[in-house]
Amino acid sequence: MDFCSSAETAEHISRCLELAILLEVSAYPKPGNVHRTADFLETRYEHFLASAVAVAPHFKHAAEQGIRVSEGEIGPVHVGIGTIMKDAVKNVGLWQRGGNTLLGSIVLLSPVAVAAGMVLAKEKFSIAKLRENVKLIVESSTPIDAIDVYDAILIAKPSGLGKAPKLDVTDPVSKQKILDDQVTLFEVFKIASGYDSIASEWVNNYPVTFDLGYPYFIQQLEETKDVNTATVHTLLKILSEVPDTFIARKVGLAKAKLVSAEARQVLEKGGLTTRSGRSLLWEFDKKLRDPAHELSPGTTADITETVLAISILNGYRP
């Protein structure tokens, strides 16, 4: 696709990421998560739709920063990835009343938006080049980016945050220590990567997204010719192989592994492509819907959104 201007390029990238969020939240039945036929008491399907619209301008700005990096106007350290995330979280809060809807998505997709801008400013889109640029952007993060993301987390108030053994986000001393010791956002996420899959994606160059989720999603599209099935199956595939760290923080790793085992069983039964698979999937969805959302695989949903985003950037259209 050829673009007439940098603004058009950035708008295209923003629309790709917005569409990814809309497709992911609409996929059903997505076990334990909000989808088009199931809400949480306080967070509904329409809250996610509003959030997708609210975050789009910030993805556009992220893409514009990537274009500026590609054209030599700024260096990667001057992208302001933390500010982009904080502003996105703020705007999401202004456009809906369902609480934290997209924090994990914003953390994962903001570097993707910057990296996509870097690619499309100079050449045709390439998954390999995108991944290379994502690595550059996250490794170029700064201590100020870390402070901004701490602020974003406090604004979003995600459930299941827990306490970190080092540089805990709820400890007022942490931000000053980050500045005093010049700890970058990449280094903060490295500390968290052992117990948080989103942080792990950041510091390991998105292995679940690129190496597991993306090829499986494309395979499912080819086999089923149905984006809903492909999306649900991709979430199940990721969940079956990578225990959800949101669940693990809430109820422990052992229970998270049991949820992963059940996701595997659903896929083995054929998932949405067979009667027995569909029946088991709906049962699984119902089982994960406890009032406290302790078994909601929200982190897996965030990674699935990122899989959809790179697929759409690479040309997929529903």
Reported as a pLDDT band with limits 50, 70 and 90, residue 124 is very high
Q: What share of the chain is helix, strand, coil (3-state, %, to 5)?
A: 70, 0, 30
pLDDT band at 1 (very low <50, low <70, confident <90, very high): low
pLDDT in tens, 200-258: 999 999 999 999 999 999 999 999 999 999 999 999 999 999 999 999 999 999 999 99
In a domain, 240, yes or no: no
Average pLDDT over residues 256-275: 98
Question: Is 135 part of any domain?
Answer: yes
Q: How far apart are the first and last CA of the chain?
A: 17
- For 30-34, what is the mean pLDDT? 96
Domain with 213, as residue range(s), is 6-224+308-313
Query: What pLDDT is stored for residue 32 in this prediction?
Result: 96
Residues constituting the chain: 318
**58 in any annotated domain:** yes
The model's confidence at residue 315, banded by pLDDT at 50, 70 and 90, is very high
285 part of a folded domain: no
pLDDT number for residue 4: 77
Answer whether residue 32 is part of any domain.
yes
pLDDT of residue 160: 62
Query: Could you tell me if 112 and 20 are in contact, meaning their C-beta atoms sit under 8 angstroms apart?
Result: no
In 3D space, the residue among 311, 112, 90, 125 whose CA is nearest the CA of residue 222 turns out to be 311
Q: What is the pLDDT of residue 278?
A: 98
200 belongs to a structural domain: yes
Question: pLDDT tens digit string along 135-192?
Answer: 999 999 999 999 999 999 999 988 666 667 678 888 889 999 999 999 999 999 999 9
Answer whether residue 180 is part of any domain.
yes
Q: How many domains does the chain have?
A: 1
Question: Domain holding 84: CATH number?
Answer: 1.10.4200
Token pair 């801008």 in the structure block, residue: 117
Residue-wise pLDDT for 67-118, tens only, equals 999 999 999 999 999 999 999 999 999 999 999 999 999 999 999 999 999 9
Q: Domain for residue 145, yes or no?
A: yes
Residue 35, beta-bridge partner list: 38
Please, what is the average pLDDT of the chain? 96
